[in-house]
Chains A and B, each alone.
Chain A
């Protein structure tokens, strides 16, 4: 059983460019959350997708957008890249099964991350 897979593992982009990162959740999971982890910091929540919709969003600008596909995989897009966007981007999958009814997952399984460097 494959865990959470992310691609690519490393990426170098130039300021102003756009980037797309991809995540396939763990089998049986329907919810994908994206986190940004800067050097020396804990992961910061970007947003969460469930049933192909963005359900929750952290304090990130609109340059950060995403998508979830019918097979539950997800993409994170960042436009107009800034040097400060350089970070490890983590995808976490979980099974919320009705987040609007207050059920949450007590576990989130993380991928290895995509290391984005903006030069």
Chain B
């Protein structure tokens, strides 16, 4: 049973537009939520996090939104750039993190 789901395996967006990556989870006990970006042949790189006591966290072009009642998390990238093309993983947990299967984002120039 997958506790963290990313239902879109891939997403294509034009450069300069908004990219929205979605993530759903089932366990209401999760305290923290993270987004990671992964390029081929590299380990995941931490991007942004949000605590369960907040509903929004911003860092530059990246904003994470948390809807606890819907158990839904989203990452907005504005404006999207070609260098953002990568696989994005959401992760949720407390002492350990459970990852989704990832969404491959392709930003078209």
Contact = CB atoms under 8 A, between A and B. Distances in A.
A99 B43 contact: no
B62 interface: no
A104 B95 contact: yes
A48 B41 CA distance: 23
Contacts of A58: 96
Contacts of A42: 4, 6, 89, 91, 99-102
Contacts of A45: 96-98
Contact of A107 (B34, B41, B89, B100): B34
A71 interface: no
Interface residues of B, number: 25
B35 to A, nearest CB: 11
Interface of B: 4, 6, 31-32, 34, 36, 41-46, 49, 51, 89, 91, 94-102
A90 B44 contact: yes
Contacts of B96: 33, 45, 48, 56, 58
Contacts of B4: 42
Nearest to A58: B96
